[in-house]
C-alpha cells in the first residue's frame, strides 16, 4: 500500500486550515459560508478526497473516488432539506429499545451504525447543525439502556441513530441492530461508520458481514478525518476502498470522508442522503 502513496503524503499534515478551521467549523454548517472561503479550503471541506488525490501516484485507480460528485448547486439544494421551516419540521421523534416499539413511519429512512466512540453522535449533530435546539441523545453510560433514536426530517425522510456496538458484546448487535436492519422495509441506506485514524476493527467487520448477509445497501463513512496524518488517512482510505471492491457486494464503492469538527464531507453526505432518499437535488 505504501508504494501507492507519494512521499509528500507521509508527513503530518492536516486537511484544510487545521486548528483555525476547527474553531470556526460551526460557521461552515452552511454552504453559503463555505463558498466564501478560498477555493482550496472550500474544496477541502466540500470534497475532502480532492485534497488527498494529489498525493496519490498516477497508477492508483481513482474511478470510484468521485462516483457521487454533485455540483455546488445540488449540494446547496440538498442543504435545504436539512434546514427547518414551518412547513418542513425537523425533530427528534422517539426512541425505541425494541423493534416492536419502533415508530410506524413509512417515509424513506436512513440509519447510522458504528462502534461506540466512532463519532456517530458528532456526525449526526453536524448533519443537523442547521436545526436550532435539536437534541441528539447520547447514551454512553455503561449499563444505560441503549436505544434507537428516530429523527423526522419533514416528510422527506427519517434518520435513525442506532446504538453503538462493540466486538466483545455480541448482544449489542443481536438486540437491536440486527432485527432493525433485517425487517425495516423503508430503510433506503445504512451508513456504517469507521474511524479513519484506526481503520477497520473486528466489530466493523461484523457489521459489514451483517449488511452483506441481509443484502441491504450500505455505505462506509470514514469519520474524524481531521485526526490522522495525511499519509495514514490515505492508507486507510485506500484500504477501505480495496476492501469494498474485493470483499463486498452491497457496499457503495465510494467511501465518504467526514470530520464533524472541521465540517469536511458533511455537505456531500447531506447531498448523498437526499439522493438515496429520493429527494434528488436537481
Ligand atoms: N477530532 C475529531 N474528534 C471527533 C470527531 N467526531 C467525534 N470526535 C470525538 O470522538 C469521541 C466520540 O464521539 P461521539 O460522537 O460521542 O461518538 P459515538 O459514541 O459514536 O456517538 C468524542 O470525544 C468526540 O469529540 C471528529 O470528526 N474529529
Ligand atoms: Mg453516541
CATH code (residue 231) = 3.40.50.300
- Evaluate whether residue 8 is within a structural domain: no
| pLDDT given at position 57 | 83
Give the number of domains in the chain. 1
How far from 109 is each of 34, 148, 158, CA to CA, in Å? 28, 13, 5
How far does residue 257's CA lie from ligand 2's centre (Å)? 18
| pLDDT given at position 61 | 84
In the numeric block, the cell 455546488 is attached to: 72
Domain of 259, in residue numbers: 31-137+145-276
- Evaluate whether residue 16 is within a structural domain: no
Along the chain (282 residues), what's the average pLDDT of each consecutive run of 10 residues?
Answer: 38 35 68 94 94 85 89 95 97 92 95 94 95 80 74 97 82 85 96 96 94 97 97 94 96 97 97 96 68
Buried-state track 21-39, b at ≥16 Cβ within 10 A, e below 16: bbeebeebbbbeebeebee
Which ligand has the shortest distance to the CA of 114? Answer: 1
DSSP annotation of 256 reads E
| pLDDT given at position 136 | 86
| pLDDT given at position 143 | 54
- Evaluate whether residue 23 is within a structural domain: no
- Evaluate whether residue 24 is within a structural domain: no
| pLDDT given at position 222 | 98
> What contacts 38, CB < 8 A, 6 or more positions away?
none
DSSP class per residue in 92-144: EEEEESSGGGS----S-EEEEEEBTTSSHHHHHHHHTTTSTT-------STTS
Helix (H) or strand (E) holding 219: strand 218-223
> What contacts 201, CB < 8 A, 6 or more positions away?
115, 167, 194, 195
- Evaluate whether residue 20 is within a structural domain: no
The size of the chain, in residues, is 282
How far does residue 259's CA lie from ligand 1's centre (Å)? 9
- pTM for this prediction: 0.91
Q: Measuring from atom 8 of ligand 1, which residue has the nearest CA?
A: 119
Distance of CA 184 to the CA centre of its chain: 20
- Evaluate whether residue 18 is within a structural domain: no
- Evaluate whether residue 217 is within a structural domain: yes
Q: Ligand 1: residues whose CB is within 6 Å?
A: 114, 116-122, 164, 223-224, 226-227, 259-261
- Evaluate whether residue 216 is within a structural domain: yes
Site to probe by mutation for ligand 1, drawn from 122, 135, 193, 225 as the one with most ligand atoms within 8 Å of Cβ, is 122
Amino acid at each position: 500500500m505504501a508504494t501507492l502513496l507519494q512521499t509528500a503524503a507521509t508527513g503530518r499534515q492536516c486537511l484544510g486550515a487545521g486548528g483555525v478551521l476547527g474553531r470556526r467549523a460551526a460557521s461552515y454548517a452552511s454552504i453559503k459560508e463555505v463558498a466564501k472561503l478560498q477555493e482550496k479550503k472550500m474544496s477541502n471541506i466540500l470534497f475532502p478526497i480532492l485534497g488527498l488525490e494529489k498525493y496519490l501516484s498516477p497508477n492508483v485507480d481513482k474511478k470510484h473516488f468521485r462516483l457521487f460528485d454533485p455540483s455546488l448547486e445540488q449540494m446547496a439544494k440538498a442543504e435545504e432539506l436539512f434546514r427547518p421551516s414551518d412547513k418542513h419540521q425537523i425533530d427528534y421523534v422517539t426512541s425505541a429499545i425494541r423493534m416492536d416499539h419502533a415508530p410506524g413511519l413509512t417515509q424513506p429512512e436512513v440509519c447510522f451504525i458504528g462502534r461506540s466512540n466512532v463519532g456517530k453522535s458528532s456526525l449526526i449533530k453536524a448533519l443537523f447543525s442547521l436545526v436550532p435546539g435539536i437534541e441528539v441523545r447520547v447514551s454512553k453510560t455503561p449499563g444505560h439502556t441503549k436505544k434507537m433514536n428516530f429523527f423526522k426530517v419533514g416528510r422527506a425522510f427519517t434518520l435513525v441513530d442506532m446504538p453503538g456496538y462493540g466486538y466483545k458484546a455480541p448482544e449489542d448487535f443481536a438486540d437491536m441492530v440486527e432485527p432493525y436492519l433485517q425487517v425495516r422495509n423503508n430503510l433506503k441506506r445504512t451508513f456504517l461508520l469507521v474511524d479513519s485514524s484506526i481503520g477497520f476493527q473486528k466489530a466493523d467487520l461484523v457489521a459489514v458481514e451483517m449488511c452483506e448477509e441481509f443484502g441491504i445497501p450500505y455505505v462506509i463513512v470514514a469519520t474524524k478525518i481531521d485526526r490522522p496524518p495525511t499519509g495514514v488517512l490515505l492508507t486507510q482510505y485506500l484500504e477501505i476502498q480495496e476492501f469494498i471492491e474485493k470483499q463486498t457486494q452491497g457496499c457503495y464503492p465510494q467511501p465518504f470522508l467526514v470530520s464533524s469538527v472541521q465540517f469536511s464531507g458533511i455537505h456531500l453526505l447531506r447531498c448523498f442522503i437526499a439522493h438515496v432518499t429520493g429527494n434528488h437535488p436537481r
